[in-house]
Amino acid sequence: MGNFIFEKTSIEGVYIITPKVFGDNRGYFMETYKQSEFEAAGITNIFVQDNQSKSRKGVLRGLHFQKTHPQAKLVRVIKGEVYDVAVDLRKDSPTYGKYVGVILSEENKKQFFVPKGFAHGFLVLSEEAEFVYKCDDLYHPEDEGGLLYCDKDVAIDWPETEELTLSEKDKLHPTLAELDFSF
């Protein structure tokens, strides 16, 4: 048996991944990625860039994607807790415009695999959160796209928060109906 549980979600290609954690009185150890096990589960992406962000409670980052350099992402939280979301933007997909959301935290150690063709974002639920992720293509700032986090057609059920903090850019993204782009 491997060191990961790969849970399929309601959207093809999106996985919630739970690593096996080995703990004792010293702390714990876990693998966060092992190419052979991911490939056996059908995730064959080659990751080329790792990123990390730190945010405070109520920060919502997203929903982001790259247009001509789409990225698959393997995301996790190393401190705190977030609600993480992937929205299907693959025009010919039966789940176009649908989303999957999952709580990621330092306690549950779950990871979320977001394939190419999705908008991605997260909301910080703890006082602060450190978020890390692998990408299978490099970041190209001129290639950014976005989807409005509160689009009524997508209807993401974001957890309640006292204060919501977004970048100016994220407040201005188009809705799904206004989006002039799909994968």
Strand ranges for 25-174 from DSSP E? 27-30, 49-56, 60-66, 73-79, 81-88, 99-105, 111-114, 118-124, 128-135, 144-146
Q: Which positions ≥6 away from 69 have C-beta within 8 Å?
A: 137, 138, 140, 143
64 is catalytic: yes
Catalytic site residue from 64, 83, 99, 120? 64
How far apart CA 105 and CA 124 sit, in angstroms, is: 10
Q: Which positions ≥6 away from 5 have C-beta within 8 Å?
A: 17, 18, 20
133 is catalytic: yes
Catalytic site residue from 15, 83, 99, 133? 133
How far apart CA 119 and CA 131 sit, in angstroms, is: 17
- Active-site residue numbers? 64, 133
